[in-house]
Amino acid sequence: MPIALHEKDLIHYEEKGNGESLILIHGVGLDHAMWEKQVEDLSKYYHVIVYDMVGHGGSEHPPGPYSLSQYVEQLAALMNHLQVKKSHIIGFSMGGMVAQAFALKYKEKMKTLTIMSSVANRTKEQRKAILTRVEEVKAQGPTVSIEPAIQRWFNHDFLNTQNVAVDRIRTRLQTNEPLSYLAAYTLFATADEELWPKLQQIDLPTLIITGEDDIGSNPEMARQMHEQIAQSEMVIVPNMKHMLPIEGAKFVNDTIRLFIDR
């Protein structure tokens, strides 16, 4: 896997295909490998780039706390390293928040923005629930959150029939570096507060997509983002929970292509 350098920090990435650049940003606790089905399909049409965020996978694991700006500058450094002047940016879950923050700072580096299965403007109850999970991770370690997350992320039918795909996600979560994960998860729990007041400033063609049955990144959040971002369109995927890129890969890939073509 190639490595880019950002101020002596390592960035692990992969690239495949030719054409317009398409950069995919994974969710908290995951890594570039979650995008396997997107790389396989979308690289037929685009220059697809996936990478590991700060504190994840093979990229640098600096001590916390982490900030959105760290993730934004990491992505800018990767684009500079690859000499990519402009790209379509797709962010999943926490990656969706990084993509929003990137759009606010580096609009000139972007062609389109896709916010997938991402949170916005959490209610008091939702904030309390995620901060409770942060405290559990702090007290008991990352493994305490794995099985509840998997139950939230996938439909029962998928869990029962696609063991290999689910186990890959489970293994990724089990092998996270505990302090890096805690720092990233803490940022994930609070970053929507930083972004929400600024969303109206995003001035790019934007696709907002989430699953109909996603509890954490629910359709109401998608609707609120859609109302705030002037050039946005919204897609709610029927009968889907959180893990759209894996469980709903074909629908997601087709939707991204249609959106970019428009």
Report the pLDDT value the prediction gives residue 6, as an integer from 0 to 100. Answer: 57
Report the pLDDT value the prediction gives residue 4, as an integer from 0 to 100. Answer: 61
Report the pLDDT value the prediction gives residue 1, as an integer from 0 to 100. Answer: 56
Contacts of 46 (CB under 8 A, 6+ apart): 17, 18, 19, 20, 21, 22, 88, 260
* Structural domain boundaries, residue 62: 3-261
Report the pLDDT value the prediction gives residue 145, as an integer from 0 to 100. Answer: 87
pLDDT above 80 for 3: no
Q: What is the CA radius of gyration of the chain?
A: 17
Spatial separation of the C-alpha atoms in residues 235 and 226, rounded to whole Å: 10
* 180-195 per-position pLDDT tens digit: 999 999 999 999 999 9
168 contacts 245 by C-beta, under 8 angstroms: no
What HEC string does 37-77 produce? HHHHHHCCCCEEEEECCCCCCCCCCCCCCCCHHHHHHHHHH
Mean per-residue pLDDT for 43-63?
97
* 82-138 per-position pLDDT tens digit: 999 999 999 999 999 999 999 999 999 999 999 999 999 999 999 999 999 999 999
pLDDT above 70 for 5: no
Q: Model-level pTM?
A: 0.96
* 140-180 per-position pLDDT tens digit: 988 888 999 999 999 999 999 999 999 999 999 999 999 99
Mean per-residue pLDDT for 62-73?
97
Among the listed residues 150, 28, 146, 43, the one whose alpha carbon sits nearest the alpha carbon of residue 92: 28
Burial string for 227-257 (b: 16+ CB within 10 Å, else e) reads ebbeebebbbbeebbbbbbbbbbeebbebbb
What mean pLDDT, rounded, does the chain reach?
A: 95
- Percent of the chain predicted with pLDDT > 90: 94
Q: Which residues pair with 11 in a beta bridge?
A: 4
Instruction: Give the CATH number for residue 162.
Output: 3.40.50.1820
Count of structural domains, the chain: 1
Long-range contacts of 119-127 (CB under 8 A, 24+ apart): 119/93, 119/192, 119/216, 119/217, 119/221, 120/192, 120/195, 120/196, 120/199, 120/221, 120/222, 120/224, 120/225, 121/192, 121/196, 121/221, 121/224, 122/192, 122/193, 122/221, 126/216, 127/189
pLDDT above 80 for 8: no
* 225-261 per-position pLDDT tens digit: 999 999 999 999 999 999 999 999 999 999 999 999 9
pLDDT above 90 for 79: yes
